[in-house]
Amino acid sequence: MSTGQRIITAITITLLASAALGQVGYWPLAEGNTWTYVSDGGQSETLLVTEQIPIFGHSAWVVDYPESSWNEPLENYWSEGPDGQVYLHGFWRDDQGGWGYLYEPPVLFVDAPLAVGDTWSTTYDTYQLPGEIFDEQRTITLTAVEFGTYVVPAGEFEAFGVGYARQAVLERAGRQYSLTGEALEPGGRDAGHWWSLGVGRIRYHVTDALQLESYMIGTVATEARSWSGIKNLFNE
């Protein structure tokens, strides 16, 4: 077994052990975790987990966009549920004088375990930033619309495609933004997200279609392998 295979096997042991405890989710959140995405048009975006902060009594991870063709002044706030759920707590952008929203309760962005056809809703209050000023109450409904094996620059991954059954778009200064604060294509629909267990988003649509080019979970850079491929390697 090569050094690379031993590294992947070590990662697999950790993931499988965590899965047995119900701790593997669709958005691995820990300080230093990094994902880089590219588009067919040559644009790119990097996401970096930086720290935990309190939001309305919840502990949320800050996901920063240190490099982005559209969203460099952006950070958004996430947490994981006990069964791998993904919750969105809001976002902050430094453009236009600085603005954002917080959500209470946090929006259930990915339910878990996922199955095609699953639909879930969150009714939540929005608070404008700065100042945490109450804005309005909204309801968002999402659904797992597809499952498959997808090839992106980082490799081949099994993933669920999650879409908005009831679209939610924020508007400011004549532009549209998703609930995560990402800029959307004018006149376009909100982002579609493809989530891979233990990896995170492998594809999503904002101003352009972005695909995962590389990622790092913990302190070990991951190789281009699908979740099923990693499990098969462990059994070799």
What local confidence, expressed as pLDDT, does residue 182 receive?
62
Flag whether pLDDT at 48 surpasses 50.
yes
Query: Quick one: tokens of 173?
Result: 């200064």
Q: Determine whether 82 is exposed, middle or buried from the number of CB atoms within 10 Å of its CB (0-12, 13-18, 19+).
A: exposed
What local confidence, expressed as pLDDT, does residue 221 receive?
43
What local confidence, expressed as pLDDT, does residue 17 receive?
38
Q: Determine whether 51 is exposed, middle or buried from the number of CB atoms within 10 Å of its CB (0-12, 13-18, 19+).
A: exposed
CB atoms within 10 A of CB 213: 17
Q: What is the pTM of this model?
A: 0.75
Flag whether pLDDT at 157 surpasses 50.
yes
Beta bridge partner(s), residue 214: 36
E-assigned strand segments in the chain: 34-39, 44-55, 58-68, 74-80, 86-93, 99-110, 119-129, 133-152, 155-166, 170-172, 175-177, 193-196, 200-205, 209-217, 220-221
More confident residue, 232 or 181: 181
What local confidence, expressed as pLDDT, does residue 150 receive?
94
